[in-house]
Amino acid sequence: MTTKIVEALATLSGLGGSLARSAAALLEAEVEQLRFDLARNWARLLRLVLLAAFVFGAVFWALGALVFAAGAGLANVLPVWAAALAVAGGLLVLALILIRVVRARARRLESPAGTVRRRVGNHLDFWRDVLESDEGEDDAPGGAAPGGTS
C-alpha cells in the first residue's frame, strides 16, 4: 500500500514538473512573439517616418522649381498674378493628397500598449479555452471524476 502511494506521488511530481516546464516554454514563446510584434510595429513606424520625411523633402525642394516653371508657363497665357495663384492652388491640392496618404498609413500602426493588450488577451483566451475543454472532459458521462470514489 505504501509503495503504491509513493509511486503515485512520484508520478504526480513528474507530471507537475512536466507541466511547469511546458508552461515555462509556452510563456517563453509568448514573450518571443510579443517581442516580434513590437519590433515589427517599430519597423512600421520607422518606415512611416522615413516616408513622411521623404515626402516633406520632395515637396520642399520641388516647390521652388514647380513654382517657377508653372508660373513662367502660365504667365504666357494669364496675367502673372493669376498664374501664381493657379500654381499655389495646385501645390496645395498635392500637399493635401500627400497628407491623406501619410495619415492613412499612420492609422494602421498599432500602439505598443495595444500590441501587449492584444497578445495578453489572446494568451488568456487560449488558457480559458483549455480550462473549459478540460472541465468538459471531467463532466463526461461514463468516466469517474477525479477525487471521487469508485
74 domain residue, yes or no? yes
Name which residue leads in pLDDT, 32 or 67: 32
Domain count, the chain: 1
15 domain residue, yes or no? no
User: According to the model, what pLDDT value does residue 149 have?
Assistant: 47
28 domain residue, yes or no? yes
53 domain residue, yes or no? yes
Task: Give the residue from 131, 122, 134 showing the smallest Cα distance to 29.
Answer: 122
Instruction: Name the pTM for this structure.
Output: 0.38
DSSP of 109-132, one letter per residue?
A: ---HHHHHHHHHHHHHHHHHHHHH
Write out pLDDT tens, residues 76-90. Answer: 998 988 888 888 888
pLDDT of 145 strictly over 60? no
Domain holding 73, by residue range, is 23-137
